[in-house]
Structure 1
Amino acid sequence: MARVKKRRASGRRSPMAAVVLIGVGLLFTGGIYAGASAAVAATTDSPATAAALSVDDGKKLFQANCATCHGMDLQGTPNGPSLYGVGELAVEFQVATGRMPLAMQGPQAQQKPPQFTEDQIRAMAAYVQSVAPGPTYPSAQTLDGKGDVPNGAELFRTNCAMCHNVSGAGGALTEGKFAPALNDVSALHMYAAMVTGPQNMPVFGNLNLNLDEKRDIISYLLYLQHNESPGGYGLGSLGPVSEGLFAWIFGIGTLIGATVWITAKSN
């Protein structure tokens, strides 16, 4: 019988093998890189590390970002006022609302997203408080929103509504200034505004509004934030201006349209 020769394997691999090997290699190295990055981020940005910011850290942040206008020793410059006596509460308010650092000169500082983390803001505030003490953070009870809401409404109408509107919708002032809307302001920043008097707002000391009265006003504003208008659509809560405009456009407009339609039908 004739012997049948076995064909030797050529040893050539499929063209897809190299592609598969490259893909596996990329997935493997990418996984290692992602895991290492997550580990580094967890180490550097963990709450324990962030909470460790000290007054000295706040001093460095202040000198790097605020001293140009307010001076290395908080003494003020031609570009910014002195911070002696403003306290940590004013610093927290101005920086946490993005009003500081100031983006540009104008009638008043505009609110914008903050440029620092909460811990960095607290550290800078603690530094200012250590150098030039002033108003500090209130107790949790003052901010709990469980005060006398009707009394807070009356106090707000008497002391604040002429600028902020009776419903806290804000309003225009002179020379391009304005009183901001209060529909998304935190309880802490409501208190800080009353105590520190930012922008055009006066300072309400304990002789003007005691601590319980401030708590009542905060409770009233928080009530407005979390409860819908009982009268239906509020039209921005801007009062007679928006209501009159609505009546003029839709009310009188409807009457005119009906008159034109009746006249056209009669002809």
Structure 2
Amino acid sequence: MNIFKQLIKSIYSPKDIALFRFQGIGKTILFVFFLTFISILPSIIFLSTALSTGINSARTIISDELPAFSIKNGQLTADTKVPVTSNHDDLTIILDPTGAVSDTDVENEGNAFALLKDEFVLASGGRSNTYPYSMLQGLNFSKEDLLEFIDTMGENRGIIIPIISVLLFLFSSAASFIEVSVLALIGLALKNLLGRKLTYRQLWRMAAYSETLPTLFFTIMAAIKTTVPNSFMINWLVVIIVLYLAINEIPKPKQKIN
């Protein structure tokens, strides 16, 4: 079965997800990469649009409406004691050195990017991608540096968009593999609850395909710019339910007759 048929089957068929536990790990890893690529498409499209049409808006907002700020030793400091939010057309920019704004708050803004106390957040259609400043050791960044960076991005968008897209894909893939691994651990408890005989490797494969339904749902919501409240909790609830149903499709071990 090719990867596209697996994608379709794993949307609605726990029985097929259960059968996928026997396939090679390489094919499952490829599926996780494929699913991750689908999930970040709205963010890539937003990024491309923002770089193509929003550079001037972003520069105006940052230059005229945001106070002076700097990022040093993984922390944001700014000449403000409250979060600053600026809106222009379909773009929202948030500056918050206080820690009051969360990545969930940024998600609710639709198309937005935010400089928070210890992380940068890019949001599109109710989903967000978060990048801690600590990932870039020795980062020293100021308002003036950001303005210069925006000018550079505008001049080199044809090169920058592919590079940022690849980085976004790599970070998102890492997050996906972590999520699948955690879900497989939860699967160990579920298989004991249901009395099924499964290894962690088999549960990892099943967990990967259990991610399909919520991933496609949130990707569609992001594409139509619709915010989903409590998306984190909904995502985990759905994947756990799908994995539970898939485990339940596996026959129970036969009881030994004395």
For the aligned pair, the TM-score class normalised by the smaller chain equals under 0.3
Taking structure 1 as the reference length, the TM-score comes to 0.22
User: Looking at CA atoms only, which structure, 1 or 2, has the larger radius of gyration?
Assistant: 1
Q: Which has the higher contact order (CA 8 A, sep 6+)?
A: 2
Which structure shows the bigger proportion of residues in strand conformation? 2
TM-score, normalised to structure 2's length?
Answer: 0.22
